[in-house]
Amino acid sequence: MRRYFGRKLLIYVLTFFLAVTIDWLIPRFMPGNPVQTMLSRAALHAEAMEVMRGYYTRAFGLDVPIWQQYLNFWAALFHGDLGTSVYMFPTPVARVLARAVPYDLFLLIPSILLSWYAGNKFGAFAARSKWLDNTISPLGYVLTATPYMWILLAWFFGIVLGVFPIAGAYSFAMRPHLSWAFIGSVLHHWFLPFVSLFLVGFGGQAIGMRNMIIYELEADYSHYLEALGAPRRLVRKYAFRNAILPQITGLALSLGVIVAGALVTEVVFSYPGIGYLLLAAIQNQDYFLIQGCFLFIILGVLIANFAIDIAYVIIDPRTRRGMTGETA
Amino acid sequence: MKKDKKINEFLYFALRNKKLRVGLIIVLFFLVLAFIGPMLTHNKPFAYVNPRGAEPPSSEYWFGTTFFGQDVFAQFAHGLRATFLVGIIGGGLGTLIGILVGFTAGYRGGMVDEILNVLTNIVLVIPTAAVLLIIAAYLEVRSILMECIFIGFTAWPWAARAIRAQTFSLRTREFVDLARMSGMRSIKIIFTEIAPNMMSYLVMTFILQFGGAILIAATLNFIGLGPTNAVSLGLMMQIAVLWGALQLGSWWWFIPPGLAITAIVGALYVMNVGLDEVFNPKLREM
């Protein structure tokens, strides 16, 4: 048990270290310069330019050797300091992110959990039932193959029906406060991004589960149970329990993909989460905001993965014994 | 002689499988369209040919024209080529790296396996799309080939994991032991004993990577981080959304590219299930 978690933890720590390093490297070794961006925005005359350049270079900590910038980056990170945003100067990146994260959690957690649950139930149901398999499974394929769900959704609901808004997290006429009208507006704006994420996830899970169940139903133990005359329901129950395990691992592994999907969904619906922020940061060449967004995504994915690992140990008793010693 | 029989048997079941047939027909249809489509129209994808601006499909402009009076069909046909190119090169590269890593890790085992495993897990966990986004954003001029390479280098871990697991289970079979005892070199064992036994698996991995690459490319292009010097289906949708095709109700502008991507990738996935049934008799519907 301890060894199992030890190994997992090692991988997480390594991943985190590597990801943070990549995160720090990418903006620095690519063309473009944030200080220049700030200066060109101000459009000053030459002398003032030089003074400002010096000021900004110091303010962003770019005046020390590159290795020291790297060490400073780590040191600041452990203090929760992610630097200052260039694009929304002088707001600290941490505060910009803190404003965006609630929207992400609000969007991602329900859509991931619900699509996983519903997709698995549904996939198990559809497997080996000719009628459902021929009607619903193709639908599942179409759903997984469509990153463009959101466009159609936006088109139908936002424009044709005019029922759901397609931009922002709440009505532009409101300010965030605690009232039923505001909560209603937030839910109203949340619906379309949620449904598009849910549907894409649902399709993938349903297809995966359908295939897993078919494999399980063809396994020896299922045939044996059938030969014993066990009712169909019982056989399916056992098949489901065996098939659900890879689906949990699958969920952990596909989190990165889901997050990517969420990034795009947010861009399409102008939903003010991390994805929307990341794109704005990229367009403004905002080093620090890009780093912050990326770091947050990494952290989120790692934490979610770890939670799934713990869940796995609880659900599958074999993990507790088997995986402690052996590696394969 | 024996090989012929095997191929015949494969073809027999392959042609009888409805999923495979339907999937293949759809993919081939778009492939042919990608080849001959650009020849059917003399309009350049970005040329302003219709002075009247956005118009619904007509006999002159099969898919209508954009807000700027560009021929949607010309864009679509050229974009389709780009899509297949990304699928084949990006998906192919991803599969190739996956095969190399998977075979090495699965066959060698031990320390090499451990290291490659950690590497695979790391690349799997990092949301590569975010990395792609950042890299793409910093390069000012981007070509389709560059996009393929990015995608290939980030999409391989799935393939590597699956191939490693398969290799691992084949490694201890008698015929592999026999080959090893006869003094065959590792590389030769992998390519003459192991690889042929999981050919079906490799083909399916390639199909999945193919579809995956198309989806990733469409996403990147859609956010505006795709190739800067070529048309693509994702780019068409981006421009359509950017210029308010949704609000103006110009459905002909963004439906064809979205539909084509969905149809191609969906058909690839369906084909994959069909192939699975062909290769694995247990899965065939009774």
What is the separation, in whole angstroms, between the first and last Cα of chain A?
15
Q: Is the CB of A14 less than 8 angstroms away from the CB of B118?
A: yes
Q: Report, in angstroms and rounded to the nearest whole number, the Rg of chain B calculated over CA atoms.
A: 22
Helix (H) / strand (E) element for A220: namely helix A220-227
The two tokens of residue A151 are: 């466009």
Please give, rounded to a whole number of angstroms, the shortest distance from the CA of B266 to a CA of chain A.
Answer: 5
A13 at the B interface (CB within 8 A)?
Answer: no
Give the separation between CA B47 and CA B53, rounded to whole angstroms.
12
- Between A173-177, A216-220, A276-280, the lowest mean confidence (pLDDT) is in A173-177
- How many whole angstroms separate alpha carbon A37 and alpha carbon B51? 38
Q: Please tell me the distance from the alpha carbon of residue B31 to that of residue B28, in angstroms, as a whole number.
A: 5
Length of chain B: 286
Our CA dihedral for B163, B133, A146, B149, rounded to 10 degrees, sits at -40
The pLDDT confidence band at residue B93, using thresholds 50, 70 and 90, is very high
C-alpha distance from residue A212 to each of A10, A47, A288, B274 (Å): 30, 69, 43, 15
Q: Which residues pair with A92 in a beta bridge?
A: A84
A216-241 pLDDT per residue, tens: 888 888 889 888 988 888 888 888 88
| Nearest CB to B125; choose among A145, A256, A263 | A256
Q: How far is B138 from chain A (nearest CA, A)?
A: 6
Query: Is the CA virtual torsion B67, B137, A275, B123 positive or negative?
Result: positive
Q: Which of A146, A212, A218 to mutate to test the interface with B (most CBs of B within 10 A)?
A: A146
- Is residue B1 pLDDT above 60, yes or no? no
- How far off is chain B from A294, nearest CA to CA, in Å? 7
Q: Which B-chain residues 105-144 have CB contacts (< 8 A) with chain A?
A: 114, 118, 121-122, 124-131, 133-135, 137-140
Q: What is the pLDDT of residue A326?
A: 43
Asked whether residue A322 carries a pLDDT value surpassing 60, the answer given is: no
Q: Tell me which chain B residue has its CA closest to the CA of residue A216.
A: B283
Diameter over CA atoms, chain A: 91
Q: 3-state SS string over chain B?
A: CHHHHHHHHHHHHHHHCHHHHHHHHHHHHHHHHHHHHHHHCCCCCCCECCCCCCECCCCCCCCCECCCCEEHHHHHHHHHHHHHHHHHHHHHHHHHHHHHHHHHHHHHCHHHHHHHHHHHHHHHHCCHHHHHHHHHHHCCCCCHHHHHHHHHHHHHHHHHHHHHHHHHHHHCCHHHHHHHHCCCCHHHHHHHHHHHHHHHHHHHHHHHHHHHHHHHHHHHHHHCCCCCCCCCHHHHHHHHHHCCHHHHCCHHHHHHHHHHHHHHHHHHHHHHHHHHHHHCHHHCCC
Query: Where is pLDDT greater, at B284 or B280?
Result: B280
Q: Using the beta-carbon criterion (under 8 Å), do A215 and B283 form an inter-chain contact?
A: yes
Does residue A324 have a pLDDT over 50? no
The Cα A274–Cα B238 span in angstroms is 20
Q: What are phi and psi of A85, to 5 degrees?
A: -70, 135
Mean pLDDT of chain B: 81
Q: How far is CA B186 from CA B49, B190, B198, in A?
A: 60, 6, 17
Q: CB distance B254–A253 less than 8 Å? A: no
- Res A325 pLDDT > 50: no
Chain A touched by B211 (CB under 8 Å)? yes
Residue of A nearest to B165 (CA): A328
List the single residue in A31, A158, A268 with the smallest CB-CB distance to B140.
A31
Of A130, A260, A328, the CB nearest to B168: A328
Per-residue confidence (pLDDT) for residue B92, from 0 to 100:
93
- Residue A287, beta-bridge partner list: none
Q: Do B130 and A259 touch (CB under 8 A)?
A: yes
Q: Which of A138, A148, A294 is closest, CB to CB, to B130?
A: A294
> In this predicted structure, what is the pLDDT of residue A147?
67
What does the pLDDT read at residue A327?
A: 42
pLDDT for the residue numbered A35: 67
CA dist A315 and B119 (Å) reads 27
How is residue A189 written in tokens? 């704006």
Q: Give phi and psi for B70, each to the nearest 5.
A: -90, 150
Of chain A residues 87-126, which have a CB less than 8 A from chain B? none
8 Å CB contact of A141 and B269: yes
Give the distance from CA A127 to its chain's centroid.
29
**A-B interface: how many C-beta pairs under 8 angstroms?**
142
Q: Tell me what pLDDT residue B95 has.
A: 93
Phi, psi of B48 (to 5 degrees): -85, 95
Instruction: Give the model's pLDDT for residue B94.
Output: 92
What's the longest Cα–Cα distance across chain B? 76
Quote the mean pLDDT of chain A. 77
What is the least distance, in Å, from the CA of A266 to any CA of chain B? Answer: 11
Chain B hits for A22, Cβ within 8 Å: 126, 131
pLDDT at A212: 84
ipTM value for the complex: 0.73
Residue B235: list chain A partners with CB under 8 A.
none
Most confident among A98-102, A178-182, B130-134 (mean pLDDT): A98-102
What tokens appear for A319 in the block?
A: 């993990």
Chain A residues with CB-CB distance to B270 below 8 A: 138, 141
pLDDT over threshold 90, residue B133: no
CA of B263 vs chain A CAs: smallest distance (Å) = 7
Name which of B247, B159, B146, B252 is nearest B210 in CA terms: B159
Chain A touched by B242 (CB under 8 Å): no
Write out pLDDT tens, residues A29-40: 665 666 666 666
Mapped onto helix, strand or coil, the DSSP state of residue A84 is strand
Dihedral class, residue A156 (left if φ above 0, else alpha if ψ from -120 to 50, else beta): alpha
From B108's Cα to the closest Cα of chain A, the distance in A is: 13
Cis peptide, bond prior to residue A90, ω within 30 of zero: yes
Indicate the angle between helix axes B233-242 and B251-279, nearest 10 degrees: 150
Question: A323 or A217: which carries more pLDDT confidence?
Answer: A217
State the average pLDDT over residues B125-152.
75
Name residue, tokens 């590696």.
A327
Quick check: A279 and B223 CB within 8 A?
Answer: yes
Angstrom distances, CA of residue A218 to CA of A75, A236, B10, B280: 55, 11, 21, 11
Is 0.90 surpassed by the pTM of this model?
A: no
Instruction: Identify the pLDDT of residue A230.
Output: 84
B positions 80-99 inside 8 Å of A (CB): none
CB atoms B282 and A166 under 8 Å: no
CB contact, 8 Å: A70 with chain B? no
> Least CB-CB distance to A218: which of B140, B262, B282?
B282
Measure Cα distances from B269 to A93, A146, B275 in Å. 41, 12, 10
- Reading the block at residue A217, the tokens are 């139903």
A165 touches chain B (CB under 8 A): no
